[in-house]
Structure 1
Amino acid sequence: MEPMPTLSNSESSVAEFSPSARWSFGRQVCPQRFPANFADMCQFLVGHANTQQVHVIVRYDGRIDATHLQRALRMVVVAEPILGCRFVEHWYRPYWQRRDDHESMDLCTVVESVYPERELAEFLEAEMDPRVDPMIHVRVIRGDRDTLCYKMNHVAGDAPSLMKIIAMVSKNYLQGRTGPDVAPTVNLRSRDHSEVIRHFPISHRLRVIGSFLANQRKTRNLWLLKADQVGERRDGGHYYIRRLEPDVGVAAAKLAKRKRTTMTVVMLAVLYRTLRRHIGVTGEEGLGVGTTVDHRNYLPAKERELSPVANLSGPSRMFVPLPADASLEQVVEVINEQFKRSHKQRLLGLNYPGVILAMPVIRWLLLPVPFGWVHRLLKWGTRSQLRGLVRACGLANAGEMAPLFPEFDGVKVVDALATVSIYRAAGMGFFMSQFNGAVTISLGATESLAKPEVCELILDGISQELCSLEESSRPMPSASTEVPGQ
């Protein structure tokens, strides 16, 4: 593995910034420390923060200029200072500490490989400690064509944050090829959910708290795996990725249009049917599926564009009280009704602890409680779940990714997909992404979450459900009339 060369002052205006007690960028002053918000702490409290990662894999039809890519990425780290920090696990309140080596740390490495897929799998599964390692890293796997993998620790930001980083890298790359680098504007806006909450009136905040409390009762209706579907190993872990043909995505989009809903709702229904019919998992009274909602959508448009790299997303749960033999369209209708109701009430995705804990009154009540106590209490309370058979299941949708990737010096992107973290227990999370209509589903898991054959069986079931949907959408061939004697 060969690290990219460090930029000199003559190569980039970004490298002219030098460390001091407080970082100065023109008129902007960047502090050495940033507070860790409740969403950051929630991601860390999940445990196994080293495997809490978000990835985007990009395949090109040629080779890109990795030196310019490194420069473009380094400018993003300057613009989004949280990426140049490390997470400090303080006993009272964790915080982000600016790294001393943020100008020289390896952000982009190039690896020549005759087995690019093996190299990619090793990079995806390698741990990333937020207390030691950089928050963002890019690997260029070089053969006849380049495969690029963006890798970000989830403690620093969510999937929309990584999409924003990629867009910024693309912009910086193209600008750097046509002219001199421009010193980036440092984003010092708050990363806390309070930025979202402050736009809500008191009545809306009370409804959010009420929705959160009501939702806690329903979370007991979780999926229950069988004992032979779960292994013992809680280390390591693998990614299971399934790419479907474009026609399958078109069929799912047609169903979404016919039901006046979204692709996310259709995929949640497919996931529900797969787990009930192909895996045979059971639950109490009703079974739930969840999806991740970007809370930036609650911000005004101008503030949404300026939102920094942060964890500003949260899960929204839908509960399906239907039997295993319910049709896909029935499941879509049940989930869509709940989805629309939450959206209309402006509660979609807001029954999330990070939102509740960011409210001023709750924050004031928790002020004397040390982080270390909460960490130990959470570990004690979830110990049985981490080694049990109960699972919460959900799916996040990255959407269509093609617009994120312009041509680099005539080198085009031929495929792109996203993956989520490697989960060890309790939560079974799937990630969906699209590239020019082709759908990719991914799952990261250790044996303690589900055995490899179970993970493969789930992805097989999702493929079968979607392929049957594609077949049912095909027009029936017209009957031909045979003329005797011809």
Structure 2
Amino acid sequence: MTTAIPATLPAEFQDQVVQIVSELGVSGYVRLVLDYPGPLDPARLETALRRLLDAEPVLGCRFALEDGQALWRRRDDLDAIAGCPVLAGDDLEATTQAWLAERFDPWQSPNLGIALVRSPAQAGDRLLLRVSHVVADGTAALDVAMALTDLYSRLGDDPDYQPSVNTASRDSLLWLANFKFRDKLGLLLDDLKSLPAALGKRRGLSSTPARFQADAAQLRPRYRTLRLDETRLAAIDRYARAHSATLNDLCLAAFFRAFDEFCPGPAAARLEVVMPTNLRRYAPLQRRPALRNLAGTTAVRIGTGCGASFEDTLAQVQAETLRHKRRLLGTEGQIATLLLARAGFDRKRGLIRRQILADLNRPAPPVLTHFGHTPARRYACDGMAPVGLAAFGEASPVPVFLSALVRMDDRLCVGVCYDQRLGDLRVDAFLKCLEQNLPGSPQHPIPEKL
């Protein structure tokens, strides 16, 4: 029996929060860049996109506010938005950046858009995706890319193929289903204990409400990547094993050292990196996972300095990440948000906007999103796996430094999105410093007998 596509869906709690911050330009799209060694069929990609908008109903909706209630309503222009333009240009990166830079309109923009870039600079095609962060976090955005490329391949075998409608729950608070009252109370007590550190001085960039409005009107997004190949990543993995560390620990340590140079003030303030963290580890398993936002945050805080060596920084990072793992990673501040979840949309909007504007005077720590380790075969088209993957967030008028880390097979990519006012040369210098601090660079050689 065919499942009917619903005309409306509930706007879950995290959907509403991201919608509100997107209205201020602080959030928007999750952007993915996939490089293939050969050509793709744009017509078949368009068909795959259109059928995916039916198979994952929330992708075919727009956010709506009706009688004071937030919901998702099915769009009436699905055929028009299900296109896959082919962008041609001699400069691969400039053509890519021009498409990625389109700003997100939280009330009108499609929840999913794609394009192909073809350039003499690259033998194969580059597939670009823009996934609305209002419907999906980074993990779900990768699921969208996997679903699209899988559907593309299936259509090559059967042009009439149509996947079934996904009816799985998108509840963004479902991760709490297995938590008892005493567990929630323990999380709240942990939050209270960490409150002095959360309110303390921290390193970062700051703004003012007036400057925020001007920056929002003049914002010009920019994108940069740092890519490490198989040889370099193998050296980093060897160093990690020798020091009982994870790839995330090493990248955090290098990130701290690079940001220490990028933003040396305020003086005597602690270094902090905010890491969005996947809460799916606590949620009941779904046979077919829903596309949704299910992310918490982890504030990784070290001292006011990184120490003399990379190993000094790594020791601070490992001690801090161990503390978070003992208190359930990613749950920091989540229990307090349950009070906000009970409020109506307009009430949520007022509270969140006031908090964002009030925090502008306080330095904002950088954000590093770790998308995890994903195999290239998940995104294969007709058996052709991509050879490169990059991820980006939304450049923001809030002077926050947004970076995304993703490992595909044995390659690593760090993507940075930022407003041009930060300066290309300054961001390039940050990425160079990050690369130099990671093990295996000429500045950080690895002993042969490690």
- Short-chain TM bin: 0.7 to 0.9
Could you list the per-position Cα deviations for residues 323-357 of structure 1 after superposition, in whole angstroms to 9, with x for gaps in the alignment? 34342223222222332333244x2101244x643
**Aligned amino acid, residue 92 of structure 1:** G
1:287 and 2:271 aligned: yes
4+ residue runs of structure 1 moved beyond 4 angstroms?
A: 404-407, 409-412, 467-473
State the secondary structure of the residue aligned to 1:58: strand
CA distance in 1, matches of 2:67, 2:318: 43
CA distance in 1, matches of 2:242, 2:304: 21
Cα shift at 1:411: 4.6
Counterpart in the other structure of 1:44: 19
After superposition, residues 213-292 of structure 1 pair within 5 angstroms as: 213-220=192-199, 221-225=201-205, 233-234=215-216, 235-277=219-261, 279-282=263-266, 286-292=270-276
Cα shift at 1:467: 5.9
Counterpart in the other structure of 1:94: 70
Could you list the per-position Cα deviations for residues 435-459 of structure 1 after superposition, in whole angstroms to 9, with x for gaps in the alignment? 44332222111256x3444322222
Paired residues of 1:83 and 1:135 also in contact (CA < 8 A): yes
Paired residues of 1:161 and 1:309 also in contact (CA < 8 A): yes
CA distance in 2, matches of 1:67, 1:239: 28
Paired residues of 2:376 and 2:385 also in contact (CA < 8 A): no
CA distance in 2, matches of 1:139, 1:286: 42
CA RMSD of the aligned region, Å?
Answer: 2.9
1:128 and 2:109 aligned: no
CA distance in 2, matches of 1:90, 1:262: 47
Paired residues of 2:222 and 2:417 also in contact (CA < 8 A): yes
Residues 1:277 and 1:446: Cα distance change in structure 2 (over 3 Å): closer
Could you list the per-position Cα deviations for residues 82-135 of structure 1 after superposition, in whole angstroms to 9, with x for gaps in the alignment? 100001245833221111222443342223333332221111111122311210
**Aligned amino acid, residue 265 of structure 2:** V
Cα shift at 1:293: 1.4
State the secondary structure of the residue aligned to 1:427: coil
Structure of larger gyration radius: 1
Paired residues of 1:224 and 1:283 also in contact (CA < 8 A): no
Q: 2:415 aligns with which of 422, 442, 452?
A: 442
**Aligned amino acid, residue 66 of structure 1:** P
Counterpart in the other structure of 2:152: 173
TM-score, structure 2 normalization: 0.87
Residues 1:233 and 1:133: Cα distance change in structure 2 (over 3 Å): closer
Could you list the per-position Cα deviations for residues 229-288 of structure 1 after superposition, in whole angstroms to 9, with x for gaps in the alignment? x99733222112222344432333223222323211211111111122454234655322
Q: What is the percentage of aligned positions where both structures have the same residue?
A: 21
1:459 and 2:445 aligned: no
Residues 1:269 and 1:247: Cα distance change in structure 2 (over 3 Å): same
**Aligned amino acid, residue 357 of structure 2:** R
State the secondary structure of the residue aligned to 1:30: coil
Counterpart in the other structure of 2:325: 343
Cα shift at 1:167: 1.5
Residues 1:440 and 1:67: Cα distance change in structure 2 (over 3 Å): same
Cα shift at 1:461: 1.6
Residues 1:255 and 1:89: Cα distance change in structure 2 (over 3 Å): farther
- For structure 1, the 5+ residue unaligned runs are 1-25, 478-486
CA distance in 1, matches of 2:393, 2:195: 24
Counterpart in the other structure of 1:315: 297
TM-score, structure 1 normalization: 0.81
Q: 2:170 aligns with which of 179, 188, 191?
A: 191
CA distance in 1, matches of 2:26, 2:197: 30
Residues 1:50 and 1:277: Cα distance change in structure 2 (over 3 Å): closer
Residues 1:200 and 1:182: Cα distance change in structure 2 (over 3 Å): farther
Paired residues of 2:233 and 2:411 also in contact (CA < 8 A): yes
Size of the aligned set, in residue pairs, is 438
Paired residues of 1:275 and 1:281 also in contact (CA < 8 A): no
1:375 and 2:349 aligned: yes
State the secondary structure of the residue aligned to 1:425: coil
**Aligned amino acid, residue 80 of structure 1:** E
Q: 1:431 aligns with which of 400, 404, 428?
A: 404
Counterpart in the other structure of 2:288: 306
Paired residues of 2:149 and 2:380 also in contact (CA < 8 A): no
Could you list the per-position Cα deviations for residues 161-201 of structure 1 after superposition, in whole angstroms to 9, with x for gaps in the alignment? 11111111222222222235443222222212321111112
Counterpart in the other structure of 2:85: 109
Residues 1:171 and 1:194: Cα distance change in structure 2 (over 3 Å): same
